[in-house]
Structure 1
Amino acid sequence: MVAHKCAQHNDELGRIAIASRNISKCQAIIDSINAKGSLKQPGELKAYAVNALDIEATKALIQETESQIVINVGSAFLNMSVLRACIDTGAAYLDTAIHEDPSKICETPPWYANYEWKHLDECKDKGITAILGVGFDPGVVNAYAALAQQEHFDSIESIDILDVNAGSHGKYFATNFDPEINFREFTGTVWSWQNREWTPNTMFEVKRTDNLPVVGEQSLYLTGHDEVHSLSKHLDVPNVRFWMGFGEHYINVFTVLKNLGLLSEKPVKTAEGLEVVPLKVVKAVLPDPASLAPSYSGKTCIGDVIKGQKDGQPRELFVYNVADHAEAYAETDSQGISYTAGVPPVAAALLVARGDWDAQQMQNVEQLPAKPFLALLDTMGLPTRIKEGERDLPWDQF
């Protein structure tokens, strides 16, 4: 997804290097880009093999390819290694999620302070641009919150981020992105920011129902998520929560897997003496998220419900995007979840290249100018709308 969008803007982004442990996977992406005719102009598009946990190898690849911007859309387990390589080589760094330690789940908040934020001073001292969490959520929803604070409210009481996938992939059970990362979000403590303090809950303990644009009435559950950890620090808002939509079937399967211990990240030994990690076994037997794209139908709806005051009066806005799975596949061979997550880091890379977001320090999305980001997303397939009561308009006309 990211490679396709970079190719569509190679007039600005220049030569594109795609790297993974499995070089054949990179070559398949290049083949897809060529088949779709995604390159805006003739240009270099090359595949490389690298273990991104190997900092020296990653540094060498950055130097070999003369890369000035590195978009890290690998596993969240790679963040600190890739960030280190970028700091040491001077390349700009972008990612879409908080770093995770494979041995830990749902750490004590704020998670960013456990990892990325420890390098704030170093990035600033060395003039390294590092933009954290610039997918959709986290990422675009952070920009929505910043836009609301800057343009539409005098004070904000609460930000509730709603993430609904109302699409259907036709499989008995599958996750829309890496199953290991997906399940790790939901098996530990659910942390939210309420009344200016961290509040713990368990998964599926707190539920809400919303009637959302296009996708209709949906059940959502309070869960922990990356953006809560930065928005609670950077915006003066007493309540920041993240809600995700789940169907009963997903909840039932998840509950059985968890109760059987199959979602554990801790190694166990089989009767034959083999050591396995149950969560990795579950990941191995589930469908590859990329395989879901051809048959995916339906839409997503992701946005921020923001409540506060404007001109002495209470105000509530829903700032959101709706994406279509089939349209995403037709354009990029990817499903809608990949599309919503993959377009924003490319938009961010363009803004870094243009200078608008070349911050020369480490920042989260809500610390950066929201308008150029949202304007670019409008042209790249993820238009933003704002709904207030019956009024529902593009963000720049609201």
Structure 2
Amino acid sequence: MKRNVLIIGAGGVAQVVAHKCAQANDRLGDLHIASRTVGKCEAIIASVHEKGAMKVPGVFAAHAVDAMDSAAVVALIRRLGVEIVINVGSSFVNMPVLEACIEAGVAYMDTAIHEDAGKICETPPWYGNYEWKRRDRCKAAGVTAILGVGFDPGVVNSWARVAEDEFLDEITSIDIVDINAGSHGKYFATNFDPEINFREFTGTVYSWQGGKWQSNSMFEVGRVWDMPVVGEQKAYLTGHDEVHSLSARYPGADVRFWMGFGDHYINVFTVLKNLGLLSEKPVRTAEGLEVVPLKVVKAVLPDPASLAPGYSGKTCIATIARGVKDGKPAEVMLYNVADHAEAFAEVGSQGISYTAGVPPVAAALLVADGTWDVGTMVNVEELNPKPFMNLLNVMGLPNRVKDAGGDRELAF
């Protein structure tokens, strides 16, 4: 049994994680949240208390820490006596935080692949560049490290495992489709950290097809998907984290990720990119100031956490697996629909943050009770999906399945 949780990060996803941990603090124990700016952590804790989210009276404390400093994170872990770290900070801090967890001997989880600030779209598989190099050390230390346990990556990976275990004898393709049919009312904004968001879309689009990596450019390949609740939506082939682990488990299947974009987003993105404003390379202004264009764009765009109060509409995210069942072609869609306004009413965040923040808390509960405390490094599809699915169903992210048998709740 593991108890006491440290949340790293203080953005929109961290707010969701904080509220959901509070709702389960009878099982998770003392709660702590840390980032470089302690005031942001204090504001999140205040929102938890305003919503009356703490299930039982207990500790929820804010701390200042530089997550890039592994030694500082180790010292904080040991001082607080935490046994589970939920890292929802910038993906630039993944490796320092993971190193700290290995050193301290505590469980680690994150929601995205590590990124090197100086590199974009490294050679696939991306997990092989940083995370997987630490597998042996995690195993030797008996440290549970669950990689990419947000929604996508995360829940969508677990759905692929459900398709493998429950619905298909052989998987020939996996398409992950992420549609945000909501509206934030701003001229232009990103749902996550703009710097991370734009880096994701300025590099090469990698997919796994025909048993090898295929390269495309962003917005080169698009198609219309008919999705539950949100209807027909245009989505584009996009490079994304889960392709890089799912392709390792299902090497004989085509694995693709599709993300929905409106024409307005594409137009603004294209202008920014063509002007060089999405570059991570420093430039010098006429006044002699050295600036990074991408960081300037980030500074002038709305903070993603600020979008929540006015967000309306729904998201629909799905894993669509095709293959063979009982010798015949078969297809299954596993999906979730989330509502932005409902997410804000519960935890004060928009739906994108909600879908990313609930799963790591479900994972923490499974680590706490020993179900997922595997003592090594894993991606989500390597873990038993059934207890995860059942927790998500009662934590605000109900799972559904659509196949030849109809459209129904997915529960075990």
Indicate the SS of the match to 1:186.
helix
| From 11, 23, 26, the counterpart of 2:41 | 26
Indicate the SS of the match to 1:185.
helix
Indicate the SS of the match to 2:77.
helix
Relative to 1, partners in 2 of residues 1:311 and 1:390: Cα closer, same or farther, differing over 3 Å? closer
Opposite residue 320 of structure 2, the aligned amino acid is V
Indicate the SS of the match to 1:323.
strand
| From 89, 98, 112, the counterpart of 2:113 | 98
| From 259, 264, 277, the counterpart of 2:274 | 259
Give 1:234 shift: 1.8
Give 1:237 shift: 3.7
Report 1:277-356 matches (<5 A): 277-356=292-371
Give 1:129 shift: 0.3
The percentage of aligned residue pairs carrying the same residue is 69
**Do residues 83 (structure 1) and 98 (structure 2) align?**
yes
Give 1:390 shift: 7.3
| From 261, 264, 267, the counterpart of 1:249 | 264
Report 1:271-282 matches (<5 A): 271-282=286-297
The aligned residue for residue 179 of structure 1 is 194
Indicate the SS of the match to 2:271.
helix
Opposite residue 252 of structure 1, the aligned amino acid is N
Give 1:34 shift: 0.3
Report 1:190-209 matches (<5 A): 190-209=205-224
The aligned residue for residue 224 of structure 1 is 239
Give 1:148 shift: 0.3
The aligned residue for residue 40 of structure 1 is 55
Counterpart Cα distance in 2 of 1:156 and 1:353: 32
Where structure 1 has 5 or more consecutive residues not aligned to the other structure, the ranges are: none
The aligned residue for residue 60 of structure 1 is 75
| From 89, 95, 102, the counterpart of 1:74 | 89
Indicate the SS of the match to 2:86.
strand
Give 1:389 shift: 4.8
Q: Which runs of 4+ in 1 moved over 4 A?
A: none
Opposite residue 296 of structure 2, the aligned amino acid is V
**Do residues 215 (structure 1) and 230 (structure 2) align?**
yes
Where structure 2 has 5 or more consecutive residues not aligned to the other structure, the ranges are: 1-15
Give 1:317 shift: 1.1
Give 1:241 shift: 0.3
Counterpart Cα distance in 2 of 1:339 and 1:226: 19
Counterpart Cα distance in 2 of 1:5 and 1:85: 24
Give 1:291 shift: 0.4
**Do residues 114 (structure 1) and 129 (structure 2) align?**
yes
Counterpart Cα distance in 2 of 1:389 and 1:21: 50
Counterpart Cα distance in 2 of 1:356 and 1:208: 39
Give TM-score scaled by structure 2 length. 0.95
Counterpart Cα distance in 2 of 1:390 and 1:110: 35
The aligned residue for residue 166 of structure 1 is 181
Counterpart Cα distance in 1 of 2:198 and 2:251: 31
Opposite residue 33 of structure 1, the aligned amino acid is V
Relative to 1, partners in 2 of residues 1:237 and 1:330: Cα closer, same or farther, differing over 3 Å? farther
**Do residues 383 (structure 1) and 395 (structure 2) align?**
no
Q: Number of matched residues?
A: 397
| From 377, 382, 398, the counterpart of 1:367 | 382
Counterpart Cα distance in 2 of 1:173 and 1:367: 38
Indicate the SS of the match to 1:210.
strand
Counterpart Cα distance in 1 of 2:379 and 2:371: 14
Counterpart Cα distance in 2 of 1:244 and 1:118: 29
The aligned residue for residue 248 of structure 2 is 233
Indicate the SS of the match to 2:96.
helix
Opposite residue 62 of structure 1, the aligned amino acid is I
Counterpart Cα distance in 2 of 1:153 and 1:84: 38
Counterpart Cα distance in 2 of 1:273 and 1:229: 41
- Whether the 8 Å CA contact 2:211–2:251 is kept in 1: the answer is no
**Do residues 137 (structure 1) and 137 (structure 2) align?**
no
The aligned residue for residue 3 of structure 2 is none
Opposite residue 309 of structure 2, the aligned amino acid is P
Give 1:125 shift: 1.1
Give TM-score scaled by structure 1 length. 0.99
Indicate the SS of the match to 1:318.
strand
Indicate the SS of the match to 1:240.
strand
> C-alpha deviations, 1:318-345, integer Å up to 9, x for none?
1100000000000000000000000000
Opposite residue 48 of structure 1, the aligned amino acid is H
Indicate the SS of the match to 1:137.
coil
